[in-house]
Amino acid sequence: MPTRVIAGAVVYAKDIAKMSRFYAAVTDLAVIESEPGHVALESHGYQLVIVAMPPDIAARISIAEPPLPRTETPIKPVFFIPSISEARIPVAANGGQMNPPEREWKFQGSRVCDGYDPEGNVFQVREHAV
């Protein structure tokens, strides 16, 4: 029986294929649905939906290479992962970036680090302290 989803987030993206590959590679989320206008990823009661921006809005958004963090948004999705150091590899390989190890910190019994995805959206990963 599938796990019941109890939380989730929606990210609007210019390139839903690239963004869904990024989040699938970095988190424990698997693609459960892929349609021309969206991709849904899910695991352990959490669902992330990557939705294509309307073309008129996407045309007005420029993404630098490498992308710059979009720090003006008040929302930051959090993903619990087994290892921050191991996550650095798929983050970089899939067009994102994480803050350096010296900027990691501890919060509520977890090791924490921020990063941003291929379109500059800021996210946070947390590794449970052992």
pLDDT of residue 130: 63
| Domains of the chain, CATH where assigned | 7-55+64-128 (3.10.180.10)
pLDDT of residue 3: 65
**One-character DSSP codes across the chain:** -PPPP-EEEEEEES-HHHHHHHHHHHSS-EEEEEETTEEEEEETTEEEEEEEPPHHHHTT----SSPPPBTT-S---EEEES-HHHHHHHHHHTT-EE--GGG-EEETTEEEEEEE-TT-BEEEEEEE--
pLDDT digits 0-9 by tens, 8-66: 999 999 999 999 999 999 998 999 999 999 999 999 889 999 999 999 999 999 999 88
pTM (predicted TM-score): 0.90
